[in-house]
Every structure is written in structure tokens, then in C-alpha cells.
């Protein structure tokens, strides 16, 4: 079919209402699925991916898989920002859609939309990491871009920064924090 594109691991299906990327072979957890184009622009668009405060990945080739990478609140992959590659978050079976969580790269309203991923813990409206409460931020902390890690506590109240269920403190040396500065 004209609207299907393949590489050795995936297929881009443009024949569905929301075109996406699907595995055509088993992909093992941690495996690199593809590398991003490494073309950067200074301002965000609804199809760019924030890498740093004023640095956004924007593909120069509209046929590359990264242009068809959809969001899911229960993603199958994540972005490794050190090498700018998409990696499998878990084992992915042939036929499964390859997705990532836009909250791991979008800060504030870069790409606002209603989510229909169907995950049991779906956020319903995707509005940027800045708008997430602390509990949801903690769930995705290990997959955040370096920029979002630097903004982890921005926009939260003092109580949200210090107290939340199951934690004595969320601001500590591991995140470069100091409780005396809150």
C-alpha cells in the first residue's frame, strides 16, 4: 500500500484516522527503535519535541518515523535524551503501536489535545508537564528530558514540594535540591 512505510522494526500506517508507528517484529525492552533526526529549532511547534529550554527537535524529513510518534499515557517506549533515541520501555509485540508519553518532553502547552489512548490512568487532556500534580510527575520522573528535570518543582505549592503520600521529602540531593531553599 502506498500509505505504509517500513524499516526493519516498524511500519508507519497512514491509513488510520491518527497515523502511527507499529512494530512488525518483537522489540525487546531497552532496545533502540530509532534515532531522532537531530535537527533543532529555537521555538516549539505542535510537532517538535522539547530537548532543552530553547532547543526543540524538529525533523527535516516528513517521512521519518518520529513524525508519526503518538502519545499514550501508558507508552510502549521512551526517549533517551542522552543519545536522542527512542527506546522500548517494555517488550513490544508485532502489531503494537509504538508510543511515548508527551509529558516527558512538553513543558507548557506546546501541544494541547484531548487524549484517547484508552489507558486506565489516562490524563484525558494533555497540556504539558507544568500542569501535572506532584504524584503524576513522580511517576514519569525517570523518563523526563533534562530540561523538565530542572523544572520538576516549578508551579507547585510549598506543600506539594515537601509533602505527599509515601514520601518524607521529594526534594533531596538526588535531584540537586536543598530543603532549606524551599
Cell of 140: 514519569
Sheet holding 77-80, edge to edge: 32-35, 85-88, 77-80
Q: In angstroms, how far is the first alpha carbon of the chain from the final one?
A: 57
The confidence score (pLDDT) of residue 108 equals 76
pTM (global) more than 0.85:
no
Spatial contact of 48 and 41, defined as CB atoms under 8 Å apart: yes
- Condensed to tens digits (0 to 9), the pLDDT of residues 40-87 reads 888 877 778 888 888 888 888 888 898 898 888 889 999 999 999 999
The string of DSSP codes covering 71-131 is E-SS-SEEEETTTTEEEESS-B-TTPEEEE-GGGT--SSSS-EE-----TT--SEE--GGG
Mapped onto helix, strand or coil, the DSSP state of residue 10 is strand
Domains by residue range for the chain, with CATH: 4-151 (2.170.270.10)
Amino acid at each position: 500500500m502506498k500509505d505504509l512505510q517500513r524499516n526493519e522494526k516498524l511500519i508507519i500506517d497512514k491509513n488510520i484516522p491518527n497515523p502511527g508507528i507499529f512494530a512488525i517484529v518483537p522489540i525487546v525492552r531497552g532496545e533502540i527503535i530509532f534515532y531522532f533526526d537531530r535537527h533543532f529549532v529555537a521555538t516549539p511547534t505542535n510537532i517538535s519535541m522539547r530537548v532543552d529550554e530553547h532547543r526543540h527537535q524538529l525533523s527535516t524529513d516528513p517521512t521519518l518515523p518520529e513524525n508519526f510518534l503518538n502519545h499514550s499515557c501508558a507508552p510502549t517506549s521512551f526517549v533517551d535524551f542522552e543519545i536522542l533515541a527512542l527506546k522500548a520501555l517494555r517488550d513490544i509485540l508485532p502489531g503494537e503501536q509504538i508510543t511515548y508519553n508527551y509529558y516527558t518532553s512538553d513543558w507548557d502547552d506546546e501541544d494541547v489535545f484531548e487524549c484517547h489512548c484508552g489507558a486506565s490512568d489516562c490524563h484525558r487532556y494533555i497540556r504539558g508537564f507544568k500542569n501535572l500534580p506532584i504524584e503524576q510527575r513522580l511517576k514519569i520522573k525517570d523518563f523526563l528530558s533534562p530540561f523538565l528535570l530542572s523544572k520538576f518543582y516549578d508551579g507547585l505549592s510549598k506543600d506539594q514540594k515537601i509533602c505527599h503520600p509515601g514520601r518524607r521529602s521529594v526534594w533531596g540531593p538526588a535531584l540537586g535540591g536543598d530543603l532549606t531553599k524551599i
